[in-house]
Amino acid sequence: MKILFAASEAVPYAASGGLADVVGSLPKAISAKGHECAVVIPLYQSIKPELRGDMEFVTNITVDVSWRKQYCGIYTAERDGVTYFFIDNEYYFQRVGLYGFYDDCERFVFFDRAVLEMLKYISFKPDIINCNDWQTALIPVYYQIYYKYQQGYDKIKTVFTIHNIEYQGKYGKEVLSEVMGIPSYNTGLLEYDGYINMLKGALETSDKLITVSPSYAWEILDPWYAHGLDRILVTKQYKLQGIMNGIDTKLYDPAHDPCIAWRYTSDELSGKVKCKAELLSELGMNDNGEPLIGIVTRFVRHKGIDLIRCVFEEIVRSGVKFAVLGSGEKMYEDFFLEMARRYPERVSVNVGFIPELSHKIYAGADMFLMPSQSEPCGLAQMIAMRYGTIPIVRETGGLRDSVRDNGGENGNGFTFKTYNAFDMLDAVWRAKRDYYDSDRWEALVKRAMSCDFSWSSSADTYIETFEDMIKEQ
């Protein structure tokens, strides 16, 4: 089986969030199980020179962007058993940053059309094209309109993975003819609520829709989570499936992590105790045996920061310390910085993205607070458990699927259901109570560390899904 993953970013070449981690890890995991995988992304300016040095030029072609013909260079590289292809056009991709430009619609229209045109000039002939998020949403649309019945394109199945339904690629109707070059009689594939919605086009034309956790697959049928697309999604349930993301268990491994002061395993947890002492010392706080809660997140509303803000001081005054790392909306950054100023012996805040410090917090904290309003999958709670740091989460999306409440005997964290600050506070109190029961807490830490969040198990589900699609032909 041959699978081509099309995405706007992939580790280690270009990354701005969790999408890059998925596209950098999942093809590698599937390839390790005996299938051929390839990834195609834009050739961004930000790709490091040492990575560019491994690339080979394949050919150059022209690609239609409505009435325009644009240059397209194709490069390739091999990495970890996966073939990578890169779409080159300096006008579209030689810029500082990946997204946020006035012509993002045109940039990714070009990319999507180029991915399909590329197949004529490379030896990799996919059985499945797995597209990811709105930036690649037009690939299944173009395939259905222009390519499906061309020689060499028959029998390809298209899969579209929704990583976050909030981002849909919505534009005015003028882009249909001026940028996309889609005939007026196909307008219905993309038009939605008075706009051209690229994500809606993928929902209509893909053979399979996948979300990044089972719970998110049914949550997005509800208007609360669907950001306006629930009306179309309820008609597509027959092809909608949720598959849980994994994490890179080599990158996040407390037994070998070079970022942390002491290595440890679930059988020998003394290193975790030393990691906590080292972290507190680095952050300017004393280690007096009180629980330390870690927060590593983007400071945006849907991450549940409003709940934290509501009861933060009550938690701090009860005898709890916080190690906070993140960035985002200024009002949330200002709040956390103010808390660090008021409680310098109990609260440490670092604004920004500091990977090494995030590893230290995952290893050194006792608990990890993640009360998201919505969370398609979430990686931080799985990483925290990998390090024996107990998550406190709201039951939504991937948080519900990965964290079981410790009210019974087989829990791996603490959960609450409603989006309410005092329900979150109750989960924190329960975690704090168990923390002071050393035998119960150690058993909980070991259960959390024994959970399998590797990509291997997720890859098995993806393979089974892809094979079933091919059998349907």
Tokens of 230: 């629930």
How much is the pLDDT for 14? 94
Three-state DSSP class for residue 29:
helix
The whole-angstrom separation of Cα 97 and Cα 146 is 31
Q: What is the dihedral of CA 275, 277, 278, 282, to 10 degrees?
A: 130
| pLDDT tens readout for residues 85-116 | 999 999 999 999 999 999 999 999 999 999 99
Closest CA to 243 of 210, 271, 268: 210
- Could you give the 3-state DSSP secondary structure of residue 439? helix
Question: Do 450 and 266 form a contact (C-beta atoms < 8 A)?
Answer: yes
Q: Which residue(s) pair with 4 in the sheet?
A: 38, 129
Percent of the chain at pLDDT above 90? 94
Residue 409 has pLDDT above 80, yes or no: no
Q: What's the whole-number mean pLDDT along residues 218-226?
A: 95
pLDDT class of 17 with cuts at 50, 70, 90? confident
In the sheet where 56-65 sits, what is the strand order?
Answer: 56-65, 68-79, 82-88, 36-42, 2-6, 128-132, 157-162, 208-211, 240-242
The type of residue at 72 is: C
pTM as predicted: 0.92
CB-based contacts of 100: which residues, under 8 Å, 6+ apart?
Answer: none
Pinpoint the residues of the chain covered by CATH 3.40.50.2000.
2-246+456-471, 270-453
Q: Which CATH class is domain 2-246+456-471?
A: alpha beta
Q: Which of 437, 21, 3, 413 is nearest to 12 (CA)?
A: 21
**What is the tens place of the pLDDT at every residue in 342-377?**
999 999 999 998 989 999 999 999 999 999 999 999
Pairing of strands 292-299, 321-328: parallel
Mean pLDDT of the chain: 96
The CATH number of the domain covering residues in 270-453: 3.40.50.2000
Single out the residue of 206, 29, 43, 63 nearest to residue 128, CA to CA: 206
Rounded to an integer, the average pLDDT of 243-258 is 94
Phi and psi at residue 232, to the nearest 5°: -85, -35
What is the mean pLDDT of the segment spanning 260-286? 96
Q: Which of 402, 414, 401, 403 is nearest to 440 (CA)?
A: 414
Strand partners, 41: 86
Specify the pLDDT at position 62: 97
Q: What percent of the chain has pLDDT over 70?
A: 100
Q: Where are the alpha helices (DSSP H) in 190-291?
A: 198-205, 214-219, 223-226, 230-233, 270-282
Residues 371, 305: Cα–Cα separation, whole Å:
8
Cross-strand bridge partners of residue 268: 265
